[in-house]
Amino acid sequence: MEVFEAIYHRHSQKKVKPDALPRALIEKLLDAGVQAPNHYKVRPWRFVVLTGEARKKLGEVMAASQLDHHPEFPQEAFDKARVTPLQAPVVIAVGVDKPSEPKVLEIENVCAVAAACQNLLLAAQAMGLGAKWRTGEWARDVKVKEFLGFDTDQHVIAFIYVGYPEFIPEPVIRPSFRDRTLWME
Ligand SMILES: Cc1cc2nc3c(=O)[nH]c(=O)nc-3n(C[C@H](O)[C@H](O)[C@H](O)COP(=O)(O)O)c2cc1C
């Protein structure tokens, strides 16, 4: 698929099939991810690929954490949190390394990892997969970070849900760049 086609046709795919993805396909997505630019070549991306039972465990952690923070929530909220990671056969949690030397800025590492996420989404689009970038309060949750093996002060910037699409939506026409652009000559 041509790059512009992937860019224009990419969309957040809410519904994907439960069918497992071959590991080779997941690796192809990750390989596309790590082609992203990154300052000082520090490769600040960390991926945790959750499939099968691991998604259930993540759901348990999410529900337990929600209970800690919002004990007033109705039972349905915890039930919903528990099954959230089961909405796709693959969930890729994406974390950012903290800079280990002064010349590398945290914001630059975050930018590099966001670029990796976008590469991954475009690769998914080109491969005919459905993907969605999600965050929510789970991305900032200490228990979730610990479960995933991240330091508690590390940024988790994405949970990328991927699977075979249930349907192919019509391409959307997005708002123009024009009201967001200043030309200086
Ligand atoms: C940093 C980031 C966080 C996001 N978090 C969520 C999320 O928690 N839940 C969600 O439904 N979508 C999330 N999205 C996806 C956006 O909602 C989506 O990109 C937007 O609605 C535009 O739709 P499109 O991707 O189809 O163009 C996130 C996107 C980004 C870049």
Query: In the prediction, which pLDDT does 1 show?
Result: 63
Distance CA 96, CA 111 (A): 9
C-alpha of residue 139 to centroid of ligand 1, in Å: 13
Along the chain (185 residues), what's the average pLDDT of each consecutive run of 10 residues?
90 95 98 97 97 98 94 95 98 96 94 98 97 95 97 97 92 94 98
C-alpha of residue 12 to centroid of ligand 1, in Å: 7
Query: In the prediction, which pLDDT does 100 show?
Result: 87
Query: In the prediction, which pLDDT does 62 show?
Result: 97
Q: Which residues line ligand 1 (CB under 6 A)?
A: 11-12, 133-136
The residues with which 131 forms a beta bridge, in sequence order, are 162
Helix (H) or strand (E) holding 158: strand 155-163
Name the closest-CA residue to atom 22, ligand 1. Answer: 12
The residues with which 96 forms a beta bridge, in sequence order, are 45, 155
Token pair 């999410």 in the structure block, residue: 62
**109 Cβ contact list (under 8 Å, min separation 6):** 38, 39, 42, 44, 96, 97, 98, 99
